Structure 1
Amino acid sequence: MTKKIFLSTITVVVSVLMLSMALITGVLYEHFEKLLLEQMATTASFVIQGVEDEGISYFDALEEKDCRITWIAPDGTVLYDNCYDAEKMENHADREEVRQAMEGESGTSIRRSSTLSEHTIYYAVRVRDGSVVRISKAQSSVLFLMGGMLSPFFFILLAACILSGLLSYRVSKKIVRPFSEIDLKHPEQVETYEELSPFLQRIAAQNREIDAKMEEIRKQQQEFSMITENMSEGLFVVDRNYQILSYNKSAMRIFGIHSDETHLNLLAVNRSESFRTAVDSALRGRHSQQTLELDGRVYQILANAVCQPDTGQDLVGAVILVLDITEKEEQEQYRREFTANVSHELKTPLTSISGIAEIIRNGIVRQEDIPHFAGKIYDESQRLITLIGDIIKLSQLDEDQVPLEREQVDLLDIARDALQQLAPVAKKNSVTFVINGTHGLVFGVRQVLSEMVYNLCENAVKYNHPGGRVYVSVKQTTDSVELTVKDTGIGIPMAEQGRVFERFYRVDKSHSKAVGGTGLGLSIVKHGAALHHAAIEMDSEMGKGTEIRLTFPKRQR
């Protein structure tokens, strides 16, 4: 601080002195230039008097050598010059000072002389006969006069700088000394400048505030410890270098951590790929969910990034939550197995029912007996066959047993085929299709992709308003292909949007019954997207419609 005060003070002093010198130099220069012009004017008056009395013969006896004297005729011809041969000199009518003298009484200018090859001050006066007498001196004459006066001033400036440096150093030391003697723990008890009292009072207030905050932090830490230690879920808090900052008893139990182990690296707790993937994603700023099998149990790993509370951008670490989902996974597995078994068992008899209903409807038996019932049986059998087909597809997707080869598939062609199949339904519901975009190639299973696009378009038709529209677009970027299906239909409530991809889940069961369907369409889309490593995004607003986007990577893993 002493150095800064010293440098600031000496800088100000030197700057003021230098500015003063510049101003004085400017004033002196202007003063001496004015004196020089006055001297030249006096000389010119003598020369004019001599010319008017004696003519050019006046110059024969002239001994003036301090300045250059030139006599110029009214037409600009040089009649006499005491430094150069007048006959060899060019016409001077265009000289600024000569032109001013001819138009008025006198003229002045400063320029580089072509004759003397240096900057020169010119003063010209018009004689009564119209000729002009011009006096000129080199500009160095002014600088020479100034130099004689400025030399003492430079010595004064140097002495002033040295003196101001010494005084600045002593003053800065004196100013800083009270600061170094302040007791920051008890600032009110320090005797120093009166001007520092508000500053010391502020320090005391901040000390009290810091003590209160520290006490509050201790209480929050105790509360946090009570909550985390009683959680059944495992909890880890890590920094950006994977070092564990905190963990609870459940985490110790799940991963077998001993209480005497401190400063652990999180990757040493569990080395499985799924666990590492979750932690890596969180430390890159992304939310991640992974499943981990450990000691016969199934755990869900939820990892979230922790950022600076002020900016929300600077990553400081991550929080990892470990949930035991063993029972949930078992129930899901039982349900999948049940669905697969029931589907295979019911498909054959339902196909027979469909055939019999078709025979009855075609009139092979008496028409008056059972047309209504036959039609009912046929419709319901078709509905059940579709349901069984969807369940089988979901089961295959769940078990990653899709029995088809992958190939390059054009999503735009797939979308056009789906719209062609749905054209009768769209016409019946007074819904218009609009398709646009570019050809987008995806390496995947054609049948699954067709099923996904068909289900999205079918939902857009079924849950649309009469006279509504369905917009289908395909867009290809550098590293992905995006398919978007947007309708102008009834929309999905915000509270329900997170569940529409669940199996058999229906937002409005009464409306769903009216439009038909199995309730598995979006589930097939979800599982098909997972099969092709595609991302699903949905935007929906009640009464305005729904938009679903599928983004497929060009190169799938």
Structure 2
Amino acid sequence: MRRKIQRSMIVVIAATILLTMGLMTFVVYRQNVGLMEEEIRQEASYVCAAIEASGSGYFEELAGLREGTRVTWIGADGDVLYDSARGQETMENHAGRPEVRSAFQKGEGQDIRRSDTVGQEMFYYAARLSDGSVLRVSRAMSSALGSALAILPAMAAVAVLMFLFAWRLSRRQVAKLIEPVNRLDLEHPLENDVYEELTPLLESMDKQNKEKEAIANMRKEFSANVSHELKTPLTSISGYAEIMMNGLVRPEDVRGFSERIYNEASRLIVLIEDIIRLSKLDEGGGEIEKEEVDLYELTREVCSRLSHKAEKHSVHVEVTGEPVTITGVRQVLSEMIYNICENAIKYNRPGGSVTVWVGNTLSGAKVIVTDTGIGIPEDQIERVFERFYRVDKSHSRETGGTGLGLSIVKHGALLHGATIHVDSKLGKGTRMELTF
């Protein structure tokens, strides 16, 4: 970052210096051209006055002109009467020259063009005399350009000094700019008194830090809960097995103890499977690819698998609705619907009912599960999706609940971009909606 900022500053400074040199050269050149034009007009005025006073004899003793100045005397018919560059040599008629033509018509004229006589770009100024002839004075434009270019070495030396000074200054300035960034306290971003432009970044970092802290706390809590939940069935299994190992169980009670060990082991297996599912969902669903799934057909399959459990709890289950297809992970969708419907059965009353409706609505595909069960206290509705949270712990353990079912539903909903809405009244039942 330091190098990039310094490099950018150096590029800007170098470009500024070069642009300044170019502009100064142009300004000096234009000033020299203006001075040269003014000098030529003055010289032309001086020569015109001399010719008016002395006649053509003045050219025999032509003096007082600057070096490089060319003087041409042109007759009223355009013939060249005298030229300081060609002497008495015969020259072509000059009546058609722009500055001469303008002088004949308006009294004076000027032009800039390349001269075939001297082979240089020249500035011409012509003035008409009282006898109708024209005096023309000219000078090479290269003299003005040369004067402008003559200052380039000095300007280059100044530019080098400026560049070195700017380079040293930029290094120092960049160091000052970077220093507050290097001293940032990333653990407490909002406590830094630094540039205003960094405020959004620091706020984002603070938010991420809080999210990380929350995730870390959640993992600690999850680990503690997992340890506790695993320890309970293992302790029971170990206790029952120890009693049987020590021969303290009567032969007629062995079946009962074996059944308890089997139930605790089954509960342990279900718990481990739920933890594995939840871990996969935490990772975004793993490598499972999404496919087209008919929610109505899937819900009927799920409820069919739960029919034995519904019969055991004396709960009537009914599935209604219409076919509706979404793109999702079939296995995860199945587990979501299974857990919701299983809860509706387990936490119901003998002789109660569970109604499942599947279909398309204006807000999207929906699965609505309504039961006539024990309900959820209003202040606990938001907590039912927490891991290992149980509204009725004693009832949950009796029915083999792990406390992870609705957590799986929540993570499955996040994976599919779905929303969950729960309405419940204690003692009257619960309505749970999944909207995709």
TM-score of the aligned structures, taking structure 1 as reference length: 0.39
Q: Whose helix fraction is larger, Structure 1's or Structure 2's?
A: 2
Tell me: higher relative CO, structure 1 or 2? Use CA pairs within 8 A at least 6 residues apart. Answer: 2
